[in-house]
Amino acid sequence: MTTTLNARQEAFAAAYVRSMNATQAAIEAGYSANGASSKGWDLLRNVKVQARIEELQTEIMARNDVEADRLIRHLYLIATADASDLVQLHIDPCPRCWPDLDARDPARAEPDPECMTCRGRGQPRVAYTPVDQMSPSAKALFRGVRHNPKTGSMEVLMHDRLKAADMLMRHLGLYRDQDEAPRADPLRDLIADICRRGSTAPLAKD
Q: What is the pLDDT of residue 191?
A: 54
pLDDT tens column, 32-68 = 988 888 999 999 999 999 999 989 888 877 766 566 6
> Does 73 fall in a domain?
yes
What CATH code is carried by the domain that includes residue 18? 1.10.10.1400
Q: What angle do CA 109, 110, 115 make, to 5 degrees?
A: 125
Same domain? For 166 and 78 the reply is yes
* Collapsed DSSP state (helix, strand, coil) of residue 81: coil
> Same structural domain for residues 79 and 142?
yes
Q: Which of 196, 172, 200, 184 is nearest to 57 (CA)?
A: 172
Phi-psi sector, 156: left (phi>0), alpha (psi -120 to 50), beta: beta
Q: Are residues 81 and 93 in the same domain?
A: no
Q: Which domain holds residue 35?
A: 7-65
- The tens digit of pLDDT for each residue in 152-174 reads 888 889 999 988 888 888 777 66
> How many CB atoms neighbour CB 172 within 10 A?
15
- pTM for the predicted model, two decimal places: 0.50
- Residue 1 within a domain: no
Q: Can you give the pLDDT at residue 180? A: 47
* Residue 65: predicted pLDDT: 59
In-domain check, residue 206 = no
User: How many domains, the chain?
Assistant: 3
Residue 172 placed within a domain: yes
**CA atoms of 147 and 151, how far apart (whole Å):** 9
**Tell me, what's the pLDDT at 202?**
41
